[in-house]
């Protein structure tokens, strides 16, 4: 456990190695957070949920930090408005690395003597919380660099797992009662617990993800121009935002390009499609004459295909499982309060930290969001 | 059928009898439509989907009306932006009554000789479409009058079915596989067809709706001030819109009042709660320690309680049933394109036209909407 | 004076004769007011500033009306938000005509015995206030009809004084000290009083207004596409609002058309240009290599040309004259509080009521507004 | 001239010495620019207006920089939207210092041989342009730090020239014709040239600026609550933005504080009032029973009082002087296109670079802006 804690803390810092000081600061849109904010917030989590409560002689590193680095925990008091995270040049990046060291050190001391089962659960949540922010950090850096006119390279060797080799086949599942949800002793979030039965009808699901080339066909066939393929809310969105292609694509005089963490490249039609919204995933499926799987279908079928390259949009709304109970207090804000207006994604992505996803993991985003590395698998 | 058609057309006009000419014109917010628009649009539906296609010698009443009175059918061409419906003083109310007469007469002629089964289905949809707009017309008039500083009376005798007499009891349902959805030969919409099996766990559901008095307790106990009771999106909504009570309530020096179609009255704590958003329904249930039922639970249990006074929010997102197929062409826009970001309501309301709802009927609204006559039934 | 009062009141009603009830109600944009609001507000002015204070036994017609029909007098208490004027179907048009009759009758009774000089001044202000609203009423009706897809005719015989017959010549004025502002015993507003000296350099001013044809040339030469002709704020405005021609012009397959109160007509290049913003007036003058006159220049030169067909934009900001003193109390809100961010227009228009303008009259609008009948005269 | 150039370039860099890398990057609101943008943009000005055109062998430092660092010169091609200046972490601060060195060096080489009179004028504009941005840089840093919850100190020794020692007296000027505007051979901007005569009436103007203490009285007497003191646009602004005090004031449990470049301090009532909008300046003068001077009055009277601590709001709109001619091409965009909707300020401030202001200098801002170090002098 100490090992896992230390490795996780170190990995966050490793992800920052390719960055310049300036890169830690900016917040080009409200849903993106500055890198230095991620580094501080993940430390804040350990500080306010564990250290200040359970380590006897613990001293707050800085009395302003709880205010500066709370994300959305209403029960943890006032906080800087999300949109202002990128307006603060102070504390500096150095200040925040020192804060991290302070927290890591104090946690190590605490963990060396820790036996309280409940507290260990909390540490596990803290570790997985930080892994989640590692993916967000990469998503956010990609957004910052992918919207900079210079298209800087984050890391030339970063592998976005773009190939999809398997030949397209349909996996068939028979109708029946299936058990869904997490029921082992491994770590999981509260939103995936509460294993329960669902009845599924016969269905088929693709063994592979949709590619850039397939989506290009959709574009070239006027997919973004035909209102009958889109939800009403989606149609408003593509009109208002002038959406005409996936997030990191751009049409240049020399053809289509796509920005990756290793730079701006010619679009490869054989690569896996990335960075689409639910609205676009749905419209594409409509156009193909298929549909998106539900999250239950995905979970039941997942052993029969490989996954983990892209978060995969499902048709399922993000709702509580039967018998879901919010944790009491601030941790109850972790998942439950987002269970409306969002769609479930299953799988994982090239940006996901190791051991952070599993077959029962429920990721979720509002249906127009696409800065996460999302893709699409068809069902029928 | 001719009888049903004629009665439906006449009933729309009957609903307008208490109105002054000025009342037909205004649109105080985008989601409300002017009365004269409802009267015209329901005629337009018969004109463009049936008369122009299936009545040999039919002459468009006015070449501008298809543009003026299309609601949202992208496949039916350009249309006046929704927000501009209330900016048009012409055509006048008289013009539109003449248009109605023209369409009603032409439809009667057509129906007298009609035998084509498919066309009859279309007429049925037109009739039910008009019934739906009758409820919208009343919702919209209530909004217009309920936001006028003079609080005009629509009809002193209008009965909003406000009493809820039954003693609170829990109806218990055993876990098992249940059949959900429409499967008779009666009329239904495409979104409720496709009867299918769902597995439900044991649950209990209240035999009665929540009352004003119970909701007042929630308010007085700081329900609108406690972020832990609310979804994140909901909390943003109540902050931005300064929401502190149900839609037609107002706190005056002389205590709480509520606007009804028969005028502004002292709030009656024994009356059924009305005009709350999903967000408020959810927060109330959280506060009580219960939850909202899913739409499947509601449908399975509904024989054991009386319903029809309020549209009842469910926890279910509005999604397609398994094997749902959108109708081809413009009618496919009727329901399918709204199947994202909305919540299902079940039941019916005091404003619902006769024969317009049934146990499988799926009504739906975005979770912050509350100008429909919505209420709340608890489950656990 | 009684005669002038009665005629003014009657003229407001005469202007409404071509209207249908529906036309009195709508408010398509915030700066337009419903006709029924103008009729009520001009009555409110007499009621609150004169009748309630100076007529012994006067009874308020309706206790809600002061709230409903106050325009912007902060010192006169709460009022309906401007944007909500068009959201009120009640009081009805009939109610408001009865209110007018009540106020007119009470004022007549008061005026028959009135001798107090100060009060007579107030009545004069009330009369001129109503004349101002007569022009606004026509501007607003033109806006409502000119934005209705049916382009209704207000009055086939309404004369918009569109011809400009004189040959273009330059009127030359010598440098020197000139006296500016109102100094007779005739009625004037406080903003034009305080006659004072200004020093003017030599200048020349055109004896005629710019025509549609001249402005068409500007359009055809890319005037709306060249940022160097426009102020920075203007350029933002034409980009944001997609401005490409004067307000009531439209480009159709059959060429340019222009909406007038007597209907939608083929654009006549010889007619006087109307309904342009200050921004457009300035850009046109830049393009021509000339400039707009200042208001002092206009006032000094005005005897040497005919005017009164269009309000003419000047280069002058709307500022207080030296020694300007706001009237105490609510009447001080009449003019003074608008003396920032607005530009002065001089002249009068085809919509101006008789005896309402004069050579010293200072009209003013924000520089992007153009629903007033504004035109342009060049200077150098 | 070389000397002046070198000193000016060096001074921009000196101003950055107290900053951390992070401080160069952020843009908390659209009207504030990042420090690194100021450093780059002032170099861009020399590069595109002088080096690329007049230095034979000059090589653009980076082909992307003209796009990145153009401010508002429409005629100089596409540019990064102003609001996105703070969204770019690259080029880094180091990159930009290298760019500065490159430009400074090339300019030095050019200047050593330069004799062309016209080109020297352009260099002068470039130098004064950079001095202007030095003041903006300090205004922007003050905004960034003054809105950071930690209120960092920029420089403990920075002197904001806060004392106002002279006793309040009225300077009297007799009516007459006065000459206004720049007419020496010294450097000036085009907007202050064109010396011309104006007629002024008798007036009096205060020999000193308004203090914090005087403004505090205004606040405590309900100045921000009385609509009759404010322009209509101003009243909307203070309601919408919830304005209740000057920009860097804050009311704490321990009394009023004010942020300065040397830190957050207890408010000193004897200090000169700073960072108020024109709207606040006007309302204060109204409340006092006085008024603001016009810019002509200020210029005529200025020899009789000391000035230069604050930019002083005048009642004058920013308009062209008689015979004003925009420079041809891009430099014509320097001043002329801002001559609408803005108010003139006269004087200078504690943030103004040496030799950058003079008695004829016309500064200008929109009337609600107050991040410039603006103050107020009364007239009557």
pLDDT digits over B36-54, tens only? 999 999 999 999 999 999 9
What confidence category does residue C74 fall into, taking pLDDT thresholds of 50, 70 and 90? confident
**What does DSSP say about strands B249-252 and B203-206: parallel, antiparallel, or unpaired?**
unpaired
| Predicted confidence (pLDDT) at residue C72 exceeds the cutoff of 80 | no
Local structure of C350: helix, strand or coil? coil
Do D370 and D277 belong together in one domain? yes
- For residue B214, the 8-state DSSP code is H
Q: Taking residues A54-76, what's their average pLDDT?
A: 88
Under the banding of pLDDT at 50, 70 and 90, the label for residue A257 is very high
- A367 and A219 in one domain? yes
Q: Which long-range contacts (CB under 8 A, 24 or more apart) does A231-235 make?
A: A231/A279, A231/A282, A231/B337, A231/B338, A231/B339, A231/B340, A232/B72, A232/B337, A232/B338, A233/A279, A233/A367, A233/B340, A233/B341, A234/A277, A234/A279, A234/A280, A234/A282, A234/A283, A234/A367, A234/A368, A234/B340, A235/B74, A235/B337
Would you call C26 an interface residue with chain B, using a CB distance cutoff of 8 Å? yes
Best D64, D89, D151 member to test A by mutation, with max A CBs in 10 Å, is D89
Q: D308: closest CA among D298, D316, D296, D317?
A: D298
Judged by 3 or more CB pairs under 8 A, whether C touches D is: yes
A115-124, A145-154, D172-181, D293-302, range with the lowest pLDDT: A115-124
Yes or no: say if D50 and D119 are a contact pair by the CB < 8 Å rule: yes
The C-alpha atoms of residue B256 and residue D157 are separated, in whole angstroms, by 60
Q: Using CB atoms, which chains have 3+ pairs under 8 A with D?
A: A, C
Residue B155 falls inside a structural domain: no
Residue A202 has pLDDT above 80, yes or no: yes
Distance CA(A363)–CA(A299), nearest Å, equals 13
Instruction: Report if residue C156 sits inside a domain.
Output: no
From the list D199, A34, B252, B101, the residue with the least C-alpha distance to C177 is D199
Give yes or no for residue B352 having a pLDDT over 80: yes
Cα(C233)–Cα(D256) distance, integer angstroms:
37
Is pLDDT at A214 greater than 80 in this prediction? yes
Distance CA D136, CA D32 (A): 8
User: Do residues C185 and C123 share a domain?
Assistant: no
> Where among B111, B146, B181 does a domain terminate?
B146
A232, A369: one domain:
yes
What is the pLDDT at residue D118?
86
Q: Could you tell me where the beta strands, DSSP code E, fall in chain A?
A: 170-173, 176-180, 196-200, 203-206, 249-252, 255-260, 263-266, 311-317, 343-347, 363-365, 374-375
A82-96, B69-83, D35-49, D238-252: lowest mean pLDDT where? Answer: B69-83
Residue B272: strand, helix, or coil: strand
Q: Tell me the average pLDDT across A166-182.
A: 96
Does residue B262 share a domain with residue B188? Answer: yes
Band (pLDDT 50/70/90 cuts) for residue D327 is confident
> Are residue D122 and residue D227 in the same domain, yes or no?
no
Q: What's the pLDDT at C327?
A: 75
- C87 vs B: CB within 8 A: yes
Residue C226 lies in a domain: yes
Q: What is the ipTM of this complex?
A: 0.96
pLDDT of residue A74: 76
Average pLDDT, integer, range A167-191:
95
Residue A103 Cα distances to A7, A14, A35, A127, C52, angstroms: 14, 17, 18, 13, 72
Task: Write the DSSP symbol of residue B152.
Answer: -
Residue D319 lies in a domain: yes
What is the percentage of chain A residues whose pLDDT exceeds 70?
100
C199 near D CB under 8 A: yes
Q: How many domains does chain C have?
A: 2
Return phi, psi of residue C312, to 5°.
-110, 120
- Judged against a pLDDT cut of 80, whether residue B87 lies above it is answered with yes
Question: Which string of DSSP letters, residue by residue, matches C147-183?
Answer: TSTT---S-TT-----B--SPP-EEEE-SEEEEESB-
Give pLDDT, residue B116.
86
Q: Tell me the C-alpha distance between A267 and D346, whole Å.
A: 56
As a whole number, mean pLDDT of residues B195-224 equals 98
| Same domain for D229 and D109 | no
Q: Which two tokens stand for residue C41?
A: 């507000």
**CA distances, D275 to each of B160, C53, C171, D212, D246 (Å):** 57, 43, 46, 11, 6
| Across A160-164, A305-309, B337-341, C22-26, least confident range | A160-164
Which band of pLDDT confidence, cut at 50, 70 and 90, is reported for residue C270? very high
Chains contacting C (3 or more CB pairs within 8 Å): B, D
**Structure-token pair, residue C340:** 């920032």
Q: Does the pLDDT of residue A78 top 80, yes or no?
A: no
For residues B223 and B124, membership in a common domain is answered with: no
Q: Stretch B131-160: mean pLDDT, rounded?
A: 97
Query: What phi, psi does B346 have (nearest 5°)?
Result: -120, 160
The answer to whether the Cβ–Cβ distance between A88 and D21 falls below 8 Å is no
Last residue within a domain, chosen from B146, B161, B179: B146
Place of tokens 């979804």: B231
Instruction: Tell me the C-alpha distance between B70 and B77, whole Å.
Output: 8
pLDDT at A75 over 80: no
Average pLDDT, integer, range B240-250: 98
The phi, psi pair for B373, rounded to 5°, reads: -85, 75
Check residue C310 and give its pLDDT: 98
Give C-chain residues touching B151 at CB under 8 angstroms: none
Helices (H), chain D: 2-15, 35-46, 52-54, 65-69, 93-113, 117-146, 212-220, 232-240, 278-288, 295-301
Of A228, A233, A317, the CB nearest to B319: A317
Predicted confidence (pLDDT) per residue in B277-296, tens digit? 999 999 999 999 999 999 99
For chain A, how are helix, strand and coil distributed in percent, rounded to 5?
A: 40, 15, 45
Q: Rounded to an integer, what distance in angstroms lies between the CA atom of residue A7 and that of residue A2? A: 8
**B40 domain residue, yes or no:** yes
Residues A360-366 have a mean pLDDT of 98
Using left for φ > 0, alpha for ψ between -120 and 50, and beta otherwise, residue C193 falls in: beta
Do residue B25 and residue B140 come from a single domain?
Answer: yes
CB contact under 8 A, C315 and D316: no
Using a CB–CB cutoff of 8 Å, tell me whether C314 touches chain D: no
Q: Is pLDDT of D253 > 90?
A: yes
Helix, strand, coil tally for chain D in percent (to 5): 40, 15, 45
Q: Assign residue C312 a region: left if phi > 0, alpha if psi is -120 to 50, beta otherwise?
A: beta
Has residue C155 been placed in a domain? no
Mean pLDDT, residues C65-85 taken together: 85
Residues A21 and A83 in one domain: yes
Whether A258 is in a domain gets the answer yes
Query: Given a cut of 80, is residue C76 above it in pLDDT?
Result: no
Domain membership of residue C141 as a residue range = 2-146
All residues of chain C having their beta carbon less than 8 Å from the beta carbon of residue B32 are none
**Residues A209/A312, Cβ–Cβ less than 8 Å:** yes
Tokens of B370: 């509350």
- The rounded distance, in Å, linking the Cα atoms of B56 and C56 is 72
B122 shares a domain with B182: no
Q: Mean pLDDT across the stretch D269-291?
A: 97
Instruction: Decide if A334 contacts A189 (C-beta within 8 A).
Output: yes
* Amino acid B1: pLDDT: 84
Q: Which of A174-178, A274-278, B70-74, B82-86 shows the lowest mean pLDDT across its residues?
A: B70-74
Mean predicted confidence (pLDDT) in D301-308: 97
Instruction: List C-alpha distances in Å: A39 to A14, A30, A133, A158, A330.
Output: 11, 17, 9, 20, 20
Looking at residue B80, its pLDDT comes to: 83
Selection from C8, C3, C13 nearest residue C97 by Cα: C13
- Burial readout C43-81 (b: 16 or more C-beta within 10 A, e: otherwise): bbbbbbbbbeeebeebeebbeebbebbbbebbebeebbe
Q: Per-residue pLDDT averaged across A270-296, rounded? A: 97
C89 min Cα distance to partner chain B (Å): 5
* Interface with chain D: mutation pick from C222, C232, C324, highest number of D CBs within 10 Å: C232
Q: What are the pLDDT digits (tens) for C124-168?
A: 999 999 999 999 999 999 999 999 999 999 999 999 989 888 899
pLDDT given at position A71: 82
Q: Measure CB to CB from residue C339 to each of D196, D231, D235 and give the nearest one.
A: D231
Give yes or no for B82 touching C (CB within 8 A): no
Q: Look at residue D165 and tell me whether its pLDDT is greater than 90.
A: no
Token pair for D48: 């595109």
- Residues of chain A numbered 60-79 and touching chain D (CB < 8 Å): 64, 67-68
Q: Which helix (H) or strand (E) holds B173?
A: strand B170-173
State how far residue A289 is from chain B, nearest Cα, in angstroms: 10
Q: Among B24, B28, B91, whose Cβ lies nearest the Cβ of C87?
A: B28
Question: Would you give the DSSP letter of residue C22?
Answer: G
Assess whether pLDDT exceeds 80 at residue D334: no
Instruction: Average the pLDDT over B177-188 and give the result.
Output: 94
- CA–CA dist D34, A253 (Å, integer): 32
CATH of the domain at A337: 3.90.1580.10
**pLDDT beyond 80 at A299:** yes
- pLDDT (mean) for D271-288: 98
Q: Is the alpha carbon torsion for C141, C143, C149, C154 positive or negative? A: positive
pLDDT on residue D149:
95
pLDDT beyond 90 at A22 = yes
Residue B323 has pLDDT above 90, yes or no: no
Q: Which of D84, D161, D114, D158 is nearest to D373 (CA)?
A: D161
| pLDDT tens for each residue of C175-223 | 999 999 999 989 999 999 989 999 999 999 999 999 999 999 999 999 9
**Shortest CB distance from C319 goes to which of D315, D332, D333?**
D315
Q: Which residue of C has its CA nearest to B151?
A: C90
Band of residue D75 on the pLDDT scale cut at 50, 70, 90: confident
Confidence of residue B356 (pLDDT cuts 50, 70, 90): very high
The answer, yes or no, to whether residue B341 has pLDDT greater than 80, is yes
Nearest CA in chain A to D25: A22
Residue C75 has pLDDT above 80, yes or no: no
**Range D34-51 average pLDDT:** 96
Please tell me the predicted confidence (pLDDT) of residue C287: 97
pTM of the model: 0.96
pLDDT at D100 over 90: yes
D140/D253 same-domain check:
no
Segment B122-133 mean pLDDT = 96
Looking at the predicted structure, is the pLDDT value of residue D316 above 80? Answer: yes
Mean pLDDT of D99-127: 93
pLDDT value for C299: 98
Which range, of A319-323, B63-67, C71-75, averages the lowest pLDDT?
C71-75
Q: Which of A112, A146, A180 is the last residue of a domain?
A: A146
Left if phi > 0, otherwise alpha if psi is -120 to 50, otherwise beta: which for A355?
Answer: left
- Going through chain C in order, the beta strands assigned E by DSSP cover 170-173, 176-180, 196-200, 203-206, 249-252, 255-260, 263-266, 311-317, 343-347, 363-365, 374-375
Asked if C86 has any chain B CB less than 8 Å from its own CB, the reply is: yes
Over residues B353-358, the mean pLDDT reads: 95
Question: Would D162 be classed as within a structural domain?
Answer: no
């Amino acid at each position: 456990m100490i090992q896992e804690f230390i490795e996780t803390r170190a990995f966050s810092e490793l992800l920052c190695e390719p960055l310049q000081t300036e890169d830690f600061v900016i917040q080009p849109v409200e849903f993106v957070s500055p890198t230095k904010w991620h580094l501080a917030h993940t430390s804040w989590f350990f500080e306010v949920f564990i250290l200040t409560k359970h380590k006897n002689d613990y001293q707050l590193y800085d009395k302003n930090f709880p205010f500066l680095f709370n994300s959305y925990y209403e029960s943890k008091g006032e906080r800087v408005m999300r949109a202002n995270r990128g307006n603060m040049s102070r504390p500096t990046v150095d200040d925040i690395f020192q804060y991290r060291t302070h927290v890591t050190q104090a946690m190590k001391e605490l963990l060396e003597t820790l036996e309280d089962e409940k507290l260990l659960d909390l540490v596990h949540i803290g570790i997985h919380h930080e892994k989640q922010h590692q993916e967000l950090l990469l998503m956010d850096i990609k957004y910052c660099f992918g919207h900079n006119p210079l298209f800087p390279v984050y890391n030339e060797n970063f592998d976005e797992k773009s190939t999809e080799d398997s030949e397209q086949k349909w996996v068939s599942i028979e109708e029946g009662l299936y058990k869904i949800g997490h029921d082992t002793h491994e770590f999981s979030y509260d939103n995936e617990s509460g294993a329960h039965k669902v009845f599924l009808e016969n269905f088929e699901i693709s063994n592979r993800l949709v590619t850039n080339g397939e989506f290009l066909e959709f574009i070239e066939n006027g997919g973004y121009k035909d209102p009958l393929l889109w939800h009403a809310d989606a149609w408003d969105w593509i009109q208002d935002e002038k959406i005409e292609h996936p997030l990191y694509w751009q049409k240049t005089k020399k053809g289509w390009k796509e920005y990756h963490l290793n730079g701006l490249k010619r679009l490869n039609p054989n690569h896996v499609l990335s960075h689409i919204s639910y609205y676009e995933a749905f419209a594409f499926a409509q156009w193909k004459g298929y549909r998106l799987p539900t999250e239950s279908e995905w979970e039941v079928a997942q052993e029969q295909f490989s996954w983990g390259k892209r978060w995969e949009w499902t048709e399922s709304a993000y709702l509580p499982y039967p018998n879901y109970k919010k944790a009491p207090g601030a941790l109850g804000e972790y998942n439950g309060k987002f269970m409306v207006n969002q769609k479930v994604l299953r799988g994982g992505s090239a940006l996901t930290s190791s051991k952070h996803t599993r077959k029962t993991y429920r990721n979720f985003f509002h249906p127009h969001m696409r800065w996460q590395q999302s893709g699409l698998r068809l069902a029928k």
